[in-house]
C-alpha cells in the first residue's frame, strides 16, 4: 500500500533518541541541498501512522527506514538508498548495494545493536532548528 506523503518526498524514519542516528540525520540534512528528504522519528506520530500501512511491526524496529517511491527499505538498504538521494559525491556509496544484503546487514546489525552503548542515548527526540523544521513530519 502506498502513502501520498511518501510519493512526493522520500521519508526517513529514524530512532529519535539515538545520538548516532541523530548525527546521521543531521548529516543527511546538510548534504541534501535540494531538500528532497523528509524525516520523522520512529517514536513520533507520523511514523506510527505510516508503518502499519506498509505492514511494518512498530514493536520490532531496530533500523533506519526509508520510504521511497512507495517502497520500504530498512537496515543497510535504507542507509545506501539515503546516500543515493544526497548531493555531491555521497551518491557513490549507493554502489555498495552490489554487496550481498546478508553481508551488508550483518555489519549494519553490529552497529545497530551497540549504538546506545557506543554513542549514547537521549531522553527525548531531537528538536529541529527553525530552518529545517519544515522537513520534519511531526
Class of 4-130 per CATH? alpha beta
Q: pLDDT digit of tens for each residue in the chain (138 aa)?
A: 445 454 589 999 998 888 888 888 989 999 999 999 999 988 888 888 888 888 887 666 678 999 999 899 999 999 999 999 999 899 999 999 999 999 999 999 998 888 888 888 766 555 666 677 777 776
Strand partners, 65: 13, 74
- The pTM (predicted TM-score) of the whole model is 0.82
% helix, strand, coil for the chain, step of 5: 50, 15, 35
Amino acid at each position: 500500500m502506498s502513502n501520498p506523503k511518501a510519493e512526493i518526498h522520500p521519508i526517513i524514519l529514524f530512532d529519535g533518541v539515538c545520538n548516532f542516528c541523530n548525527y546521521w540525520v543531521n548529516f543527511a540534512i546538510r548534504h541534501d541541498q535540494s531538500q528532497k528528504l523528509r524525516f520523522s522519528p520512529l517514536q513520533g506520530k507520523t511514523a506510527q501512522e505510516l508503518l502499519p500501512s506498509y505492514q511494518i511491526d512498530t514493536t520490532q524496529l531496530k533500523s533506519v527506514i526509508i520510504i521511497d517511491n512507495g517502497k520500504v527499505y530498512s537496515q543497510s538498504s535504507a542507509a545506501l538508498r539515503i546516500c543515493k538521494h544526497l548531493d555531491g559525491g555521497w551518491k557513490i556509496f549507493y554502489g555498495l548495494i552490489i554487496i550481498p544484503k546478508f553481508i551488508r546487514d550483518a555489519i549494519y546489525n553490529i552497529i545497530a545493536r551497540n549504538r546506545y552503548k557506543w554513542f549514547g542515548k537521549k531522553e527525548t527526540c531531537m528538536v529541529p532548528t527553525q530552518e529545517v523544521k519544515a522537513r520534519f513530519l511531526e
